[in-house]
Structure 1
């Protein structure tokens, strides 16, 4: 048998609870949903916002998204560059158009210029849409409201993937509780699902793969542990 570790991507989610710092959450989510044109395995793809703060969050979030500069990746001031190929840009254009035709609401974006796809925010999405179920790997994010934290957890977990999740909350209770409820390999408190440090264990569950990356953790995955017992009474 060949031993392997696999990191297989995700449709990672971030929860914004009613007690979150909305300014902080909106600014960071706008940046990390579209960094590298969304072509990051832990890119923010699904945002779940408590209904009590949905309107204020969207106002802050869309304002921040509108200020992202799209264009030449060689320009230091560019926030969102091109996708890897025009083929991939056309793919996500098709996915978004399919979602809108099925009832999703396009709040901003939805435009393609060659292999550049503009930052796109969708609401009123549901299971069965590719932009929800699959890994978009593109500058597209969905925003969905929830009533209770249990509902938010259920929606995050209702996925074949489980790489990482983010949670914005001021509640110590939730910060301790949610990592045991979310079916993912990593939970980021008061940060987006897109946070990663090279020295931390990084990997997912379900179809997001098996095993952990990170120097010491990857070594453990690739070696066999041998237990040696010495009987001193012999």
Structure 2
């Protein structure tokens, strides 16, 4: 059953003792306030992310980089970037950085903005004017702090042209917080140590993508990245219903997915048989 109610009705529903489980997807302040309000309930929270990609030096052929760039460009800007696992940060080992930057920038520049009802449109508007103005403000803040806009970033009403920036300071909001818009930061790193550390340097930990064909790099990334899921050979925007989908740190608690939902909505009960002949 689906019951649509106003935001004002939600606190009463959340507190109702007849509803033993609360699952919330949305902003971190609201999510954590729900958990604080009902500490004795089972609460599942998916609170967003700051999805990152690492392109390892072994992903180095022109075809590899062109394919990775296309995936990064598409999944940084699908739903106008309004997805918790949209690509927001890209770190590339220095040997492949410049070529990847050129390929990503060209792929992003080719994306067509406009009316989402038009089949030719690839990047539509943001949810409202306030969201578009916030994204524009974050871009301007990064530029003022020393970043360079490689392509895009112009705002026209609620539409923001898909943007690629480089040289974004690590403490800028574009690098630290969830932009939830069509903006991509791409930076070089000197080796895997720095690349993995830069991905982990975030208050969020939903999913990450690692482009590599080295199984040792893949298993190391899975072991060291503090995220809920690592996608090897693709962007972090991949998701399937059978996956235990969820994050760490500020991205929430619990998992979504078929098995996870069954476990969330089930209470294990034990029966012990004694004194009965079977």
Q: TM-score, normalized by length of structure 2? A: 0.81
Correspondence 1:59 to 2:59? no
Shift of 1:231: 6.6
Correspondence 1:136 to 2:175? no
Shift of 1:225: 2.4
Q: What 5-or-longer segments of structure 2 have no aligned partner?
A: 1-39
Correspondence 1:108 to 2:151? yes
Show the counterpart of 1:211.
254
Of structures 1 and 2, the one with the larger relative CO (CA 8 A, separation 6+) is 1
Show the counterpart of 2:58.
19
| 2:203 equivalent among 160, 164, 171 | 160
Shift of 1:36: 0.6
Correspondence 1:10 to 2:49? yes
Shift of 1:95: 0.7
- Alpha-carbon distance in 2 for matches of 1:231, 1:50: 64
- Alpha-carbon distance in 2 for matches of 1:202, 1:81: 26
Q: Which has the larger radius of gyration?
A: 2
- Alpha-carbon distance in 2 for matches of 1:15, 1:191: 10
Q: What 5-or-longer segments of structure 1 have no aligned partner?
A: none
Length, aligned pairs only: 234
Shift of 1:178: 1.1
Shift of 1:197: 1.1
Shift of 1:233: 11
Shift of 1:222: 3.0
Retained in 1: the 8 A contact 2:109–2:152? no
Q: In 2 relative to 1, CA 229–168 (structure 1 residues): closer, same or farther, beyond 3 Å?
A: farther
Correspondence 1:199 to 2:238? no
